[in-house]
Structure 1
Amino acid sequence: MIGLVLATAFTLAFDAPGAGLGRGRCLLRRRAQAAGGPAPTPVPAAAGDGHDQRLRRVGREVSRTVTGYLTGKLVISVICGTLTFVVLALTGVPFAAVIALTG
C-alpha cells in the first residue's frame, strides 16, 4: 500500500502536466535551445513517414490515461485511509493512525 502511494506520488510529481517537477522536460528543451542545439525529443527520428506525430499523439494519450488512473487511485486511497482513521478513532481503537496507514 505504501509502495503504491510512493509510486503514485513520484509519477504525479514528475509526469503530471503543470505539476511541480513535471516542468523538467521544458527545462531540458530550454537548455538545448540556449546552447544552440535542437530540442531533445522522446520520439526517435527513425520513425519517419509521418509516424512521429502519431507516436507523439499516442504517447500523450497513454500518459494522460495512466496519470488519470494513478490520480484516481491516490484519491481513493486517501479517502479510504481518512475514513478508516476517523471510524477507528471514534470507536476508540488504539493506534488508529497506524492501522489506517497500513490497512
Structure 2
Amino acid sequence: MARAPGPPSTGASETQRFGKIFLPQVKGSLVVVGLTAFIFAWQDFLWPLLVIQSDDNMTMMLGISRLEGSFGTDYRVVLAGAITAMLPVVITFFFTQRYFFRGIEEGGLKF
C-alpha cells in the first residue's frame, strides 16, 4: 500500500499528512473534475429521456424539451426555461472559477 507523501519523522499522522500536504496539491484538479461532472450531470438529456416514465419525475432539460408544441413554440417560455436551467451551473462556476482555472493550469505539462 502506498504511503502519503511527507517524511514520517515529522510526527504527523497519515490523516494529517493527507490533509496538509496531499489535499492542497490536488484541490484544483478535484474542483475541475467535480465541476465538469456536475455540468454534464445537470445537462444530461438522453439517459433521463430513456429511463423516466412519469412526467412527475422529469428533469428540467426534459421539461424544456416538452415545451415545444406540435403547432407552434413560444420561444420566450423556452428561453426563460433555458436561462433558469443554466443558473445553477453559472452560479456554481462563479464561486469555483478561481479553483477551476488553477486546476486547469496545474494539469498542463511543465517542462
Superposition TM-score tier, normalisation by shorter sequence: 0.3 to 0.5
TM-score normalised to the size of structure 1?
0.37
More helix by share: 1
Higher relative contact order (CA 8 A, sep 6+): 2
TM-score normalised to the size of structure 2?
0.36
User: Which one has the largest radius of gyration?
Assistant: 2
